[in-house]
Amino acid sequence: MFFYLLGNLIKTYFGTDYLSEVHSSLNNNDRLRYYVDKIQKEIHLQGQGLLGVVYNYSRNINNFCDYVKRLEFFEDGNVLIICTTPEQLSEWKKCKHFQIDLSFKRVAGEINEFEVNHYNTEHNLSTVSF
């Protein structure tokens, strides 16, 4: 549910547990979805799917190319997008061992993505870095 995911943010920014306590119109899920969609369309002119990625990459909007290191299209219709920050690459170079989690799934649909984890011996932490 939308409210459940944002619960901590609502409490942090508005000092209340529910958006309906901020304003009664925010109790209507359809109305709230309308506002979210409107803002997302203003921010992401071509959407947040593949078309949006290609659009942002081709125009380097907000230094998008600093994050998207490679965007490649294959004849079989597959697409490869490699995303990482300079800090993540620097950390990866220091890794002696790392693990790739193929079960990681943040994006709905037919997109396959994975994350790379490593253990930081300096801080005794297992981190998701890439």
How wide is the angle at C-alpha 67 spanned by C-alphas 86 and 64, nearest 5°? 135
State the chain's mean pLDDT as an integer: 79
* Sequence spans of domains, the chain: 2-43, 84-130
Helices (H), ranges, the chain:
2-14, 29-43, 50-59, 64-67, 86-94
- 46 vs 65: CA distance, rounded Å: 17
SS3 at position 54: helix
The model's pTM is 0.58
Per-residue pLDDT reduced to its tens digit, 45-97: 888 888 888 998 999 888 888 889 999 999 999 898 888 888 888 878 877 77
Q: Which residue has the tokens 């409210």?
A: 3
SS3 at position 9: helix
Question: Phi/psi at 97 (nearest 5 deg)?
Answer: -140, 150
CA-closest candidate to residue 99, choices 80, 81, 119: 119
- The pLDDT of residue 109 is above 80: no
More confident residue, 5 or 32: 32
